[in-house]
Structure 1
Amino acid sequence: MTPPGRTGLIDVHAHFVTDSYVRRARAAGHELPDGVPAWPTWSAAAHLELMDRGGIDTAVLSVSSPGVHFGDPAAARALAREVNEDGAETVRGHPGRFGLFASLPLPDVDASLAEAEYALDVLGADGVVLETNSHGVYLGDPRLEPLFAELGRRGAVVFLHPTSPVCWERSALGRPRPMVEFVFDTARTVTDLLFAGTLLRHPGLKVVVPHCGGALPVLADRINGFMRLFMPSEDGAPDAVAQLRELYYDVAGPAFPRQVPALLNLARPDRLLYGSDYCWTPAPAAAAHAASFTGAPGPVEGVSWPELTTRNARTLLPRLTG
């Protein structure tokens, strides 16, 4: 039976944590993850209750910051496999309600290639999640080229998620890193992809940028100008804005009233996606965000935000159409 209030929303920015994952992260020194006061708790039952209250049909689960690599490559490989198996079990146990973006043990490229193959081909993951940096290795780093080549060949969905930059001890000024550092680390790693030419070399990549693009909507023209200055060629400098318009963007976080208007000056309507950021966003705030999103006028006349973003998500993630 369809629960009352369901409107068909697909949430592409939803997280899960397990007791085992939290224990391992704490043992590695992440007692206060990214400077927030405490680890959240999560269960499929609580998540489904929130989804039903907010009119969300399906939530695509991923592991948030600090990811799965805490410094020991072998432990990172094992933890990536563990959380991906746990996520896939949740998907299987609740048909139609959950999807999965699989974690990879970057910056270990060979292990990440192996885990991506297993997660996509065996577990049936809907894509992969990549942190904005892995121990200071940003996504435009040439060492990651084999991974992006394979993901591009597959036409894989690549969900980006911010994490703390390696300089956070000074730059965060003692405040929780998700407030400001995450926003700028998102812009930093996407800019790195642009300057590295990764998106142009691998047009099959389907990249999802979180949190209304972070700082990218207000920096896009500045980035474009610098690319024209420092990347001239006979064919002309790459157009950063054109590349950014091909990416997907979720609206997780405090999207209204200011971030969404900035995003709409950059993103194409068919690239907009819904995101709740639950369970890192507490249930009351996630429910309030869903309500504000559902009631706001959509960017396309005659099409609501839920209709638009759900249509876009079903195009991007065809497994969720069933």
Structure 2
Amino acid sequence: NDYCSTIVKQNPKHFGFFASLMTLTDVEGVLEEIAYVFDVLGADGIILFTSYNNGQMYLGHPIFKPIWSELNRRHAVVFIHPTSASSPNGKPKLINSMLPIPAIDFPHETTRTAADLIVSKTIDSNSTCKIILSHAGGTLPYIAERIAGIAGDIKTFNSNGLTKESIMNGFKNFYYDTALSTGSSTLHGLTDFVNSSKILFGSDLPYIPVSLNENIIESLENYFLKNDNRNYLEKINFKNAINIFPRLKALFHDK
């Protein structure tokens, strides 16, 4: 965090950063770090993993309530990125050697924590946070109605007074980035699922090869330009980000 802050301060018009936090189970330590990264380092947001404690605690877990309350008080932008799926021995289980965890399991982990945040009513209590789900929300746009129908309409599972409609509204209030998610069927599903103001550009660099990132950008541009929808593309590429990051908004307003 200190290093990132130094880079941003050297060139604030070109860089920003999301602060990283230690394991969320050290609640007091996390609260201290949140104060430090925002008040001293000037972080633009916070990055969280989808789960902690070897995958046993997703982000709606009650132990994290003080953390969410503080992020909510600060109107924080929170970027959620998946980590390895849970397993009985705490070690990721591969399908086979040709399918690393990020290929399939990461999208499911994003969906798990997003659903947990909604059905636990964590988001209801912390509605000023702007939460970004990586990789177009994982599998969420595709199975959102299935989740909402089961969790909201089947009374056996519903102990929070939720409805299918309230769960769906919660899902639609997340922001979604486009990292590794620019196939035509993926973009069609995402743009049908959420408002155009909720989609942000993402690349996954430096964890993917530059050549793959170039293909992702090309796919994103081709999808919208072939439909003569340059305005939608501009929203994704920069306009939506300007609206959720105060420092960016001030920077572009100055221009």
Contact 1:296–1:305 under 8 Å retained in 2 = no
1:214 Cα offset (Å): 0.4
Residue by residue over 1:227-274, the C-alpha shift from the partner in whole angstroms, topping out at 9 and shown as x without a partner, is 222226668566211111111000110422221111122111111100
Amino acid of the structure 1 residue aligned with 2:36? Y
Aligned positions of 1:130-279 closer than 5 A: 130-135=48-53, 136=55, 137-167=57-87, 169-170=92-93, 172-174=95-97, 175-228=99-152, 229=154, 230-231=157-158, 239-279=166-206
1:86 Cα offset (Å): 1.0
Write the distance in 2 (CA, Å) between the matches of 1:148 and 1:160: 13
211-220 vs 221-230, which moves further: 221-230
Residue by residue over 1:171-228, the C-alpha shift from the partner in whole angstroms, topping out at 9 and shown as x without a partner, is 6444311001101000011111112110111111110001011000111001101222
| Over 4 Å off, 4+ runs | 232-238, 298-302
Structure 2 counterpart of 1:315: 243
1:281 Cα offset (Å): 1.4
Structure with more contact order per residue of length (Cα contacts < 8 Å, sep ≥ 6): 1
TM-score normalized by structure 1? 0.69
Structure 1 counterpart of 2:234: 306
Write the distance in 1 (CA, Å) between the matches of 2:201 and 2:66: 30
Aligned positions of 1:46-61 closer than 5 A: none
Write the distance in 2 (CA, Å) between the matches of 1:211 and 1:234: 30
Write the distance in 2 (CA, Å) between the matches of 1:99 and 1:144: 26
Structure 2 counterpart of 1:93: 10
Contact 2:84–2:92 under 8 Å retained in 1 = no
Contact 2:17–2:44 under 8 Å retained in 1 = yes
- CA RMSD of superposed structures (Å): 2.1
1:92 Cα offset (Å): 1.6
Contact 1:127–1:158 under 8 Å retained in 2 = yes
**Identical counterparts, % of pairs:** 32
Amino acid of the structure 2 residue aligned with 1:145? K
Residue by residue over 1:116-171, the C-alpha shift from the partner in whole angstroms, topping out at 9 and shown as x without a partner, is 11101111101100000122221011000100011111110010000101225436
1:318 Cα offset (Å): 2.2
Structure 2 counterpart of 1:121: 39
1:308 Cα offset (Å): 4.2
Amino acid of the structure 2 residue aligned with 1:208? I
Structure 2 counterpart of 1:20: none
Amino acid of the structure 2 residue aligned with 1:87? C
Amino acid of the structure 2 residue aligned with 1:313? A
Q: Which runs of 5+ in 2 are unaligned?
A: none
> What SS is found at the alignment partner of 1:242?
helix
Write the distance in 1 (CA, Å) between the matches of 2:197 and 2:246: 15
Q: Per the alignment, do residues 300 and 159 of structure 1 end up closer, same or farther by CA in structure 2, a change over 3 Å counting?
A: farther
Q: Which runs of 5+ in 1 are unaligned?
A: 1-83
Aligned length: 239
Amino acid of the structure 2 residue aligned with 1:241? M
Matched, 1:288 2:215: yes
Q: Per the alignment, do residues 171 and 231 of structure 1 end up closer, same or farther by CA in structure 2, a change over 3 Å counting?
A: farther
Amino acid of the structure 2 residue aligned with 1:266? F
TM-score normalized by structure 2? 0.87
